[in-house]
Amino acid sequence: MSQKMTRKLQFIAARAGIRLDRYIADECPELSRSYIQKLINEGYITVNDAVVKRSFRLNIGDKVSVIIPPPTAPSLLAEEIPLNIVYEDSDLLVVDKPAGLTVHPAPGHPSHTLVNAILAHYPQLSGVSSPGRPGIVHRLDKNTSGLMVVAKNDAAQQNLSAQIKARSVAKRYLVLVVGHLSPERGIIEAPIGRDPGNRKRMAVVSSGREARTQYRVVKYIDNYTLLEVSLETGRTHQIRVHLAAIGYPVVGDEVYGTRSPFLKRQFVHAHHLGFRLPSTGEYVEFSSELPSDLEEALKRISSPL
């Protein structure tokens, strides 16, 4: 196996009686249940260094080791998709991703992604780090718009990934929620993991991974609140899950909230991004204006018919 791309994880079980496959699903929500079972069956997941069945029930203190082998690299095609490049140097790009564009290819969505668009402009990125995800160090949901940084070489990808892991990258979002959120500043701290009742959703669950979301009220508009949200962690669907959990669902969020009569996607826009340039260490910041569909949504709720 390629040591460069092989991931190795280790956990110490804090609960007794939970099935191994369920435990891994809770600890590694980015892995599908079928893939977890495949890893267990092939001996990539062990308990106390022994290969066990997926139905094995853990004891407190058991050492669970997970090896995630490098994926088979998909065939990546360059596609001429328009890109809004906000900044570029020899190490990286900052792009303003439109809503509706998936970040990277995945099963069932092999093309027409941000990665395919980037490869049309920079074919040399195909050799950068992760197979299938060259240059990608963080993600935005398909229907979330806004700023992303993309690495152009392995050194830059490692540097940016380290900054994200150290929580030194500033990521702020403009978010519209239903209701008047009070107090005007706050922190939502609640663990996030797979929803036990629906594996395609995330939820606040006691067995989930640490998640912290800061918010401040920008303004109240009719029965809505425009927020600026800052992420201290980067869990899947974190903003949408946390705000729904406290009773203020994101406008237009059909998964965790409700449909909107004036918006076809969730009102989440990554409007601010700050980090240190890998080459010099200089701290830089970038901003992005609200796209037209979100601006129009604000106008409609400010002047209801």
Q: Which residues are catalytic?
A: 141
**Could you tell me which residues are beta bridge partners of residue 12?**
63
Q: Which three-class secondary structure state does DSSP give residue 4? A: coil
Q: Which residue has the tokens 């398909």?
A: 142
**Alpha-carbon distance values, 212 to 72, 143, 187, 191, 249 (Å):** 33, 22, 7, 8, 17
Sign of the torsion angle spanned by Cα atoms 75, 78, 83, 88 = positive
What are the DSSP calls for 46-101, one per residue?
EETTEE--TTPBP-TT-EEEEEEPPPPPP----------EEEE-SSEEEEEEPTT-
Q: Which three-class secondary structure state does DSSP give residue 294? A: helix
Return the DSSP state at 143. Answer: T
Number of Cα atoms under 13 Å in the Cβ half of residue 24: 29
Residue 224 CB neighbour total at 10 angstroms: 21
Query: Nearest 5 degrees, angle CA 170-CA 176-CA 177?
Result: 115
Return the DSSP state at 102. Answer: B
- d(Cα 135, Cα 154) in Å, to the nearest integer? 8
Residue 292 CB neighbour total at 10 angstroms: 8
